[in-house]
Amino acid sequence: MRDAGTKLLLHACCGPCSAGCLGGLEEEGIKPDLFWYNPNIHPWTEYRSRRDCLEGLAGRKNLKLLKIDEYGLRLFLGGLGAGGGNGAKAGRCGYCYRLRLEKTAETARREGYDCFSTTLLISPYQRHDDIKKTGEELAARYGVPFFYRDFRPLFRGGQKTAREQGFYMQKYCGCIFSEEERYAP
């Protein structure tokens, strides 16, 4: 168990994934602050639904929620053109992890957190090892430790809790490409 006073900034991609991670952290006696920065979520109505769901969860759990509340369609697509693989999954997901984790590391350093992490570590659908590697690289660059946990065993339980509690449940990963992959025939 970690020191219950660990000041952790937890990047949060959505309410359901956050619920699972928070359960695991509670068992370790850690109450993180949440951080919303997700320029990868499109379109706008989807962005709003996920953001509002997370705000509700933070309120109910009495957790501090830091937000960079900027809908990032243009930023995200522009960055892809500059090295994110032009929409191909291999390039774009790496770019997407780095974009969000870098802002989290930067914010953690500026605001005096002990460490940072991300709820992306709970998803069995993400490239877990890439997320870990990116977090560790950014930790070295920003001088703030990456708080790594394999939260994946908590995924199903977190989703179940989220459903029972009436959370907004997304149907695709986030970006406009993943929406197409989910729905296009």
| Residue 93 in contact with ligand SF4, rule: CB under 6 A | yes
| Residue 173 in contact with ligand SF4, rule: CB under 6 A | yes
DSSP annotation of 43 reads S
Nearest to 121 by CA among 42, 36, 17: 17
| Residue 92 in contact with ligand SF4, rule: CB under 6 A | yes
Number of helical H runs and strand E runs in the chain: 7, 4
| Residue 121 in contact with ligand SF4, rule: CB under 6 A | no
| Residue 50 in contact with ligand SF4, rule: CB under 6 A | no
Angstrom distance (rounded) from CA 12 to CA 9: 9
Per-residue string for binding with ligand SF4, 96-115, x by CB under 6 A?
A: x-------------------
The least distance separating ligand SF4 from the CB of residue 29, rounded to whole angstroms, comes to 30
Angstrom distance (rounded) from CA 133 to CA 65: 25
- What residue ranges bind ligand SF4 (CB under 6 A)? 40, 92-93, 96, 173-175, 177-178
